[in-house]
Structure formats: structure tokens, C-alpha cells
Chain A
């Protein structure tokens, strides 16, 4: 697939089409999703553009649609899903759509207003109703109080009725004369009542009778968004003057006052009246709600269709704003970026669009040459999309640079698996990923990570921290005993630890385990010293290979951009430096693995490497092979020689060309600034721009130091492959030992039940700690290894992404 090796070749094309066919053409291009429109009016603000009114109209329609959707959700009406590919309306239809929307909005708002007003009315009527009912009891109380007021009594009587009462009686009231008790009745919020009572008491010193009762909240009121609880009260007072004061106090507390008839008969009549009014109101409310639901349901059928239409319209107007309209107002000029291989498709789409609009003139597609940097377009399918996203998150590739995505599909899951390696966990992860892929169709990364983890789990021979013995271990204990070896039965009783010595014939069969690590190591107590050495060396080997691969890719970049000078003065010294030091380290590791050295004289590779760099060849250090000293000295000297080559040669050459021609220098080498913005056009560099020697020198020095020190630090950085896999293995073992082993050790009758319960705990902990936490951690570290250690060998990542006008992606973001 040459298209994913590097980004596509793009071209700038000029489109000319008629104004009438503009909508259809752009909508066809939008459905195609392969062109990116260039902004031909960059200096114009958003408010000065041609079609700003239309865009505003579309936004208003979107707002109305959002309001509609909210209302529908409130009334829990289901919105019908989209049908596919509606035809975009032309400008005339937009007006019709707009008027429909406005009418709908007005209707809805009116209905809502009416609804609220009706509800308020209903609650008022209900208050009056409860008031009338409570008044019955109160008036009876008042009558009885009146009748037994004749014999003056000093003690205040406390009455207890069904509702809580406060009453004070001033004994002097009987002296004033025949008491005329007027009353005021009303409703007040329950929380305000204590303060209300206090104020009245302070004002009138008990010259009043106050009764109150809580309104039983009915179901209707309760659904009305939690109204505050209310109390009904009646105040019996003497005299008009006092009554006015009480009225003012009630107003201050926002209590609603209602006139209550004095006689029983009138009260009954009023009560009936109110009942009928309430029934009417309820009926009206129901009808209103039904009407509202009907309106919303009718609209719900079309809401999705409308909203996608509006979105497309807005996108089209936005695109039109980017184009130029010529003087005669008849022709629209647009410039697009599109891939060279897609030009015919685009042309066909344009022709189809203009045919649809019925215009006679076919649109024209001109390819124009430009010096500007095109956007970076990497064609992806649903499998590579995830990996491409990973690369793009770090930085979108420079135009036509090598795309690391196809290699990432393999190396990323592999490095993840090296850190995660456990075939039991890998199996669970794979099954989970299969389930996700059947549901969502996009998460192939997790599936690959799971499958690779199963593979590395088999190599590490680790399944939930236990090993499989499939092929028969190569180590035997029996030969260590008498008569072949030194052990007896007593040795077993006396010693804590025993070591199997492979020198004794028969203990180690000489043939290593067929696939993976020998299962005997799982029950050995020095398992970690073996595995650590193995995993560390493996990480170094993998790291150096990965970096070597990265440097090789830079060769392809240089070759593509015809930068042969850089091949000689950058690529070759880098390769020599890397290979002579770290390639040699890898060779040493592999060599030591292949030969047999008695373990007490075997040299440590790390010490060998350090001594090599320090030129330390004292005789007590053993060497691995003959002539090692000479070879090592050679390699170190070569590597050290490469450093000034990388440092000086390039600057010198640049200086020489500059002095010779006295012309400004241009070429990819200068533009390769790390962290520079997108490349400006080359035309800028053709002007007389003087070259500053110090700049070049410093730049070259930085890059050289970065590479050389980076080699060492990056190689060490790859040791995280070892570290994380060790952590995973240890966590897994701890989980088994602390949790599941406890369950297995129950030998009583209820042992199996306990085992079942403990297994559930084991499963939950495995998933949360080992799969989720360790998985995320390994994912992150594998990502970091790719982004930093691998990509800084060759990747620039200073391009900008190709964002075509595509209705599919527009509508996808909506959902």
C-alpha cells in the first residue's frame, strides 16, 4: 500500500462554477468528503463575509431545533432516528423551513405560557378550597370561645384540636363591650409562619386569635415542581383599625388573603363554586397537555431530518464564504486541496451537481501549481484509523514524510505485550476486545494488544502467574541424588535451600524447553535473578533494534527528498555511531547467550561495556573471546570519531556553499527546524536572507548532542519493558498467593463455598488492578516509547492535517 507508506500527494485546484449550481455542487462535494476548501478571503472578518446573514439564519434554526429537542425530552417523547442521505434543500426551501420553525417555536412558547398560567390558577383555587374547609373548624372554635367568654377567667385556656393552635386571651376584652370579631383569612408559606406569628404577637400583644393548619399537599400540587408547603391561617381581631394593620403585615409576608364568607351557607356555596371551577381548569389543563404532546410528536418525526439539513446548509454557506465571487455575480471561484488520485472523482461530483441544478454550464476544474505546503492526508481504513490517530496526536506528519503508522500497527501492540505478558490476562483482554469490536467496529487496537499479549504470555510461560508444562521440563531432580550426585535423603531434611547443579549429568538434559521459559523456573526460588537478567537483555535488544529501524526510516526520508548530502553527513555517521556502540552491545549479549562459560568466571556484560568505554583492560577482568580488546578499542575510536563528523562537516559545507555563491541558501536542511511552524512558502527563502553561521553551528551541535546522548538514554529507557513486565508478574503472583491460595487451602467441608467466594474476589481484583491499571500503564509506556524514542530518530511531525468538507463526519459529531 504505497498510500500509507507516506502521505498522499496533494494538489491545489481551482474550481469555477455558476452561482445557481453552487449549492448542489458543494453538497455533492460534501457527500464525497475528499476536498478541503482553502480560504480565499483570509483578511475578511466573520461579519463582513458575503453569506453571513444566511449563516445567522441557519444558526437561529439550530437554536429553535435545540429548544424543540429539549421540550421533547422533557415530555419524554421519543425522537425518531435518521433516515439516510436527505437531499440538501436549495435556498428557496430554506425560507420555507425557516417559517415552519418559527411558527412551531411560537406555538410551543404560547402553549407553555398558558400551561403555567393555568397551573397557577389551579393552585390558587386549591388554596381557597383548603382554606374554606379549615375555616369550618375554626369558626366552630370561635363560636365556642365566644360563648364561654362571659365568666371572666384568669387562666388562659389552651385548646387542643386536630390542628396545632396558638391562642391567647386577653381577659380584659370582655370589659370593652360586646366583642365584634372580624377575621382575616389567607394562605402563607409554612416556613414564614413562625416569623409571622412573632410579628403579630409583638404588634398586638395577644389581642387576636390566630389559628393555622397545614395544607395537605395533594398529588397534583406535588408534581408541580415541588411547591413549598403552605399553611392556612385565620386571624380573629377586633376593630377595623387593627384589621388594616394585620392586612399590612400579611402583605409584608407575601401571604395571599382571600375573602371568606361568614355564614355557613355562603361558605358551602363558595366551596361548590370552587369545585366546579377546579374541574373546569383540570379539564383545560389536560387538553392543553394533549395538544402540546401532539404538536411535539408531529415535530419529532422530522427533527433529525431537519437538523441534519440545517447542519448541511450551514456548512455549505460557510464554505461559500470561503470562496470568491467574481464581478458579474455569476461565477464562483473556489480553491481546493485534494489528492491527485481523487481528481477525477471530484470532477465527476461537480458535473453531477451542476446537472442536478439544471445549469447549462459545466464546472471547470483547473490544477494549479503552487509553492505552498499542502496538508497531510493519510488514507486510513477502519483498522489503521486507530493507529494513525495515535501518531497524529503526537504530531501530524510533514507533507510527504514517511508515515510511521503502518509499522505502529505491529510494534505498538508488541511492545505493549512485552510489558503485559500473561496469557491468562491476555486471553481475557482478547475476549473483551472481540466483544467490543462486534459492538462498535473500531477498536482493533485492543484486540491486537490482547492477541500479542497471549503470545508473549506463552513465551514468558505465565498464566495468572502459573506456568504450563506442555513439552516436559528439561531439568530433573532425580539425578542429583545418590548415586549420580551428592544428595541423600538427609540433605532434604537438613537444608533450607537446595540448588540444582546443571554440571551433574542428567540434571539438565542439554536440550532447552521447546517454546518459552522452562516451567521449572516457576517453582524455583531464584526465579527472579534468572528472569531479570533475561528480560533486561531482551529489552536492550528490542530497544536497539527499534531505534535502528527508526534511523533506517530517516534514510528513506532523505532519499525521497533528494537530500543525498544529508545521507552522507548525517545518516551514515549516525548509523556507525549507533552500530559500533550499541550494536556491539547487542552482539555481546547474543554471543554470551550462545556460549557456555563456567558461572564463576563469566564476565558481566554491563561491566564489559563500561570498561570498554573507559579503556580499562586490567588483566583480572575476564574477556569473552580472543582479541576482544583490539576489537573494542577500534569500535570506540570509530564512534568517537563520528561525533566531530556530525558536528562540523555539515556546518562547514553550508558555509562553503554560502561563501562560494553568495546567494541565499535554501533547501530542506534549513527548514528542518524542530518546532518550527508549518512551512511557509519557499518564495520567502528566495529573497535575500543572510545565513548566520552561529545559527547553523548551534543547531548542528544541539542535534548531535541530542543524538549521541539520546542513544544512551533511550537505550536505558527501553529497560522499562523489563520493569513493567516484572511489576506485572509480581502483582499477578501476589494476587494468586494472597487471595486464591487462601481459598484453595480450605480442606474443610465448606471449602468449596469459600473457594467460590474467594474466586469472585480474585476475579474482580484481577480485572481492576491487573487488567485495567496495568493495561493502561503498559499502554502509556508503549506509547511513550513510540513517541519519544522511536520517532525522534526520523519523524518531524510539523504538517497540518487534511480536513475535508465531509457531511458524514459532520453528522457523526452530532450524534
Chain B
């Protein structure tokens, strides 16, 4: 079985830190988007037509909010995966170091 180790200890540690940060921040962003926070209004990709042609305001914008929120949650899940991979790499690195010395 080929070695599953593909990055050094430092890269794996960076990966873990990045994924922890990503998970926390993206989850919170997802929560805030789902709560339709006003502060994040500029991040929601709505256009002029959305506002004008809205039959039932502000449901279009709310729908966009929800969509971005779901995107954030999925990205957070991706980072959970990245974190798990990095954790594996760190463990493998430690084991290899242990075997060599």
C-alpha cells in the first residue's frame, strides 16, 4: 500500500489551524446569514431587478440570504473534511518520526 503521507508536519499543522478557523468562522457566518443580519446586506448577491420585480418583498432577498447561508454551512463541512485529513497527516508524521528514531 503506498504511503498515505503527502505533506510534512508543518503543512499538516497549518492545515489543522486553517480548518479549525474555517469551521468556526464559516459556521458563524452561516448562522448570521440564516438570521438575516442587516450588517451582512452587502455580501448578499442581489441585483436591482430582484428588488424591483419582487412580488412579495422582501422574500427574494431573504431567499438569497438563505442560499448564501447554506453555502457557508457546506463550506464549513468541507473544512471539517480538510481538518480530518490534516489530523491524519499529523498522526502519520508523528508515527513516522517515532519509527525512524
Contact = CB atoms under 8 A, between A and B. Distances in A.
A100 interface: no
Interface residues on A, range: 20 to 34
B72 interface: yes
Contact of B39 (A466, A745, A763): A466
Q: Which of B41, B44, B64, B75 has the most CB of A within 10 A?
A: B75
Given A752-B74, A756-B78, A744 B21 contact: no
B37 interface: yes
Nearest to B70: A752
Contact of B45 (A469, A744, A753, A763): A744
Contact of A746 (B21, B41, B71): B71
Interface string A403-441: 000000000000000000000000010000000000000
Given A744-B43, A744-B45, A763-B22, A469 B75 contact: no
Contacts of A752: 70-72, 74-75, 78
Contacts of B67: 747
Given A755-B71, A756-B75, A741 B42 contact: yes
Contacts of A744: 29, 43-45, 68, 71-72
B4 interface: no
Q: Which of B64, B68, B79 has the most CB of A within 10 A?
A: B68
Interface in B52-68: 64, 67-68
B42 to A, nearest CB: 7
A760 interface: yes
Interface string B14-51: 00001001100110010000000111111111000000
Given A741-B43, A744-B71, A756 B18 contact: no
Contacts of A522: 39
A403 B26 CA distance: 47
A747 B45 contact: yes
Given A747-B67, A752-B78, A753-B78, A759 B22 contact: yes
A763 B21 contact: yes
B45 A760 contact: no
Q: Which of B18, B71, B82 has the most CB of A within 10 A?
A: B71
A469 B38 CA distance: 9
A582 to B, nearest CB: 37
A752 B75 CA distance: 5
A433 to B, nearest CB: 14
A400 B78 CA distance: 61
Interface in A728-752: 737, 740-741, 744-747, 751-752
A363 interface: no
A464 B40 CA distance: 12
Interface in A441-498: 464, 466-469
A519 interface: yes
B70 to A, nearest CB: 8
Given A744-B45, A744-B71, A752-B78, A428 B38 contact: no
A594 interface: no
B22 A519 contact: no
A467 B39 CA distance: 7
Contacts of B72: 744, 752, 755
Q: Which of B18, B38, B79 has the most CB of A within 10 A?
A: B38
Contacts of B64: 747
Contacts of A746: 45, 71
A633 B79 CA distance: 66
A523 interface: yes
A314 B50 CA distance: 83
B26 A466 contact: no
Contacts of B37: 469
A740 B37 CA distance: 17
Q: Which of B18, B21, B37, B74 has the most CB of A within 10 A?
A: B21
A459 to B, nearest CB: 17
A428 B21 contact: yes
Interface string A218-232: 000000000000000
Interface of A: 428, 464, 466-469, 519, 522-523, 737, 740-741, 744-747, 751-753, 755-756, 759-760, 763
Closest 7 CB pairs of A and B: A752-B74, A745-B45, A755-B75, A756-B75, A756-B78, A752-B75, A752-B71
Interface of B: 18, 21-22, 25-26, 29, 37-45, 64, 67-68, 70-72, 74-75, 78-79, 82
19 contacts: A464-B25, A523-B38, A523-B39, A523-B42, A737-B42, A741-B43, A744-B45, A744-B71, A744-B72, A747-B45, A747-B68, A752-B74, A752-B75, A753-B78, A755-B72, A756-B26, A756-B79, A759-B22, A763-B18
Given A428-B21, A737-B42, 19 more contacts: A468-B39, A469-B37, A469-B38, A519-B39, A523-B38, A523-B39, A523-B42, A744-B29, A744-B72, A747-B68, A747-B71, A751-B71, A752-B70, A752-B78, A753-B75, A755-B75, A756-B78, A756-B79, A760-B22
